[in-house]
Chain A
Amino acid sequence: MSDLAIEVRNLKKHFGQVIAVDDISFEVKKTEVFGFLGPNGAGKTTTINILCTLLLPGAGEAKVNGFNVLTSPNEVRKSIGIIFQDPSLDERLTAYENLNFHGMIYHLPAKERASRIREVLDMVGLYSKKDNIVRTFSGGMKRRLEIARGLMHCPKILFLDEPTTGLDPQTRQHIWDYILNLSRKDKITIFLTTHYMDEAEICERVGIIDHGKIVALDSPGALSSKYNVPSLNDVFLEVTGRDIREEGSDDKAHLSEFLRAKIKLK
């Protein structure tokens, strides 16, 4: 119990008729770097949203840092930092203001706030831009600022939902170096999702989710040898590949239906 950062038991969640998460169970140890992989719509973000208390679990149990997300959400919130898939900065404020307000809601005293802001901004290389309005930042700069913000209050567990989507290779490299260094140095547990399988190779363990169910769960090396393929990418295609194609054709059917409806309207 005490060496587990995340415990998920028989977790279920559905939205209307759609089952997003279907009876999944897994554990993440403290200080582990855990990758949560799956095709679009597989249930990754729903799981993260439940773990960070934005959604209530439909059934089953989820504990983060030993606290149940259902019964002690505030304790969970104090333990975690999150970098969302979609931006969640206030773009009308400066970088400094964004971080300062973040520090205020996590109760960092004013002095500590100032020094932490300097620290995290230096780390992501944005200190010289601290008084610029966030709206003027590039996509990569915004991402770096979000990462700085997620780390500012020294969370025990850091959730990263596709943190490097849409970034250039240099920025991706920079962000991963930083995250790995952090997990070693500050002993932070990292729970990440990504579509880049080369990035997932750095995880100590990965779980692959598809159609709301966990279809593989082990270290990238163990999974490669189990399926007898050279890389995690091949493992991923092996366990989820067929379904992607089905989803793809479904999407196409939807799209053409949508276009037909549009044309009829005209």
Chain B
Amino acid sequence: MDLDAIKMIWMRDLIRHFRDRVRLLGSITRPVLWLLIMGTGLRAAFNVQGISYTHFIFPGIIAMNLIFSAMMSTISIIWDREFGFLREILVSPIPRSSIVLGKALSGATVAFIEGLFVLAFAPVIKIHIPFVNLLLLLPLMFLLGFVCTTLGIVIAARMTSFEGFGVISNFVIMPLFFLSGAMFPIDNLPHWISFVVRINPLTYGVDLLRWETLGIRSFALHHDLIFLIVFAFVMLSIGVFEFNKTN
């Protein structure tokens, strides 16, 4: 592990992120659209487990902002390849694992911050989160951002074009989001959907966030955590393998 290099990659991505104001705008409008418009519109139709629909999807919308910004942050890998900066990194004496870890941490940080934008809506829709739960929620949001970034890294490392990444990430983000229990309860689903839901990392992330914000869950806490950590570890390993390829 090379701490200087991890720090460098992390800092660079954050500087770049916050210089791009348009991206920040997207991360604020997304929760407003979903939470206030979808949530309010569907509230009359659904009442899940005795909880109002706006409340039910709240942790799901946090997870959505996390996965969107995490995946989008990894587009910088394609960007760097296209504009040459990746070569500057690859000819330097940085262990490839540190490059991947630095990327995963910067993506997780950006995702975490964008997740906070959604969390700030909690008082607006009258969700009260006890202080202890809030303290637990923050690291869990970071963890979920980290997990999503590692998935993005594996996809971006294999992609050669921005367009391709856009297609793939939508092809990945939307199904993961819809099949994560973010929008509807995952109990009593048809068999084939239930299977996809169970191998979807976002399911366990949403479950953790819902437990801390609303106090309801579908799986045991250690079950959620173990799945997420193992998933991130596998993705990191594949990412390092991809970066180590030199033809």
Contacts and interface: CB of A to CB of B under 8 A. Distances in A.
Interface of A: 52-56, 74, 77-78, 80, 82, 84, 86-93, 97, 101-102, 104-107, 149
A105 B5 contact: yes
A135 to B, nearest CB: 11
Interface of B: 2, 4-5, 7-8, 11-12, 15-16, 19, 80, 83-95, 246-247
B19 A92 contact: yes
A77 B93 contact: yes
13 contacts: A52-B91, A53-B246, A54-B90, A54-B91, A74-B93, A74-B95, A84-B87, A88-B86, A92-B19, A97-B12, A101-B12, A102-B92, A104-B8
A88 B8 contact: no
Contact of B16 (A53, A78, A92): A92
Given A90-B85, A92-B16, A93-B16, A104 B5 contact: yes
Contacts of A104: 4-5, 7-8
A93 B83 CA distance: 13
Nearest to A56: B246
A87 B83 contact: yes
A88 B246 contact: no
Given A88-B86, A90-B16, A97-B15, 7 more contacts: A77-B91, A80-B91, A87-B84, A88-B83, A90-B83, A97-B12, A104-B8
A104 B86 CA distance: 16
Contact of B247 (A55, A90, A92, A106): A55
Contacts of B4: 104-105, 107
Contacts of A53: 90-91, 246
B246 A54 contact: yes
A205 B170 CA distance: 54
Contact of B84 (A52, A84, A107): A84
B7 A82 contact: no
Contacts of B12: 90, 93, 97, 101
A192 B80 CA distance: 25
Contacts of B8: 101, 104-105
B15 A91 contact: no
A82 B89 contact: no
Nearest to B99: A105
A91 B83 contact: yes
A54 B11 CA distance: 25
A104 B3 CA distance: 10
A88 B87 contact: yes
B11 A101 contact: yes
A87 B86 CA distance: 11
Contacts of B2: 105
Nearest to B91: A52
Contact of B87 (A54, A93, A97, A101): A54
Given A92-B16, A97-B15, A105 B92 contact: yes
Contacts of B90: 53-54
Nearest to A85: B84
A105 B96 CA distance: 12
A75 to B, nearest CB: 8
B242 to A, nearest CB: 15
Contacts of A52: 91
A105 B5 CA distance: 5
Nearest to B80: A90
A114 B157 CA distance: 33
Contacts of B91: 52-54, 77, 80, 82
B94 A86 contact: no
Contacts of B80: 90
B246 to A, nearest CB: 5
Contacts of A102: 88, 92
Nearest to A50: B246
A117 to B, nearest CB: 14
Given A82-B91, A104-B7, A107-B4, A56 B83 contact: no
Which 9 residue pairs of A and B lie closest in terms of their CB atoms, listed nearest first? A88-B84, A77-B93, A104-B8, A88-B88, A105-B92, A78-B93, A74-B93, A101-B8, A56-B246
Contacts of A91: 83
A56 B4 CA distance: 27
A52 B7 CA distance: 24
A77 B92 contact: yes
A246 B88 CA distance: 35
Nearest to B102: A105
B98 to A, nearest CB: 9
A33 B153 CA distance: 40
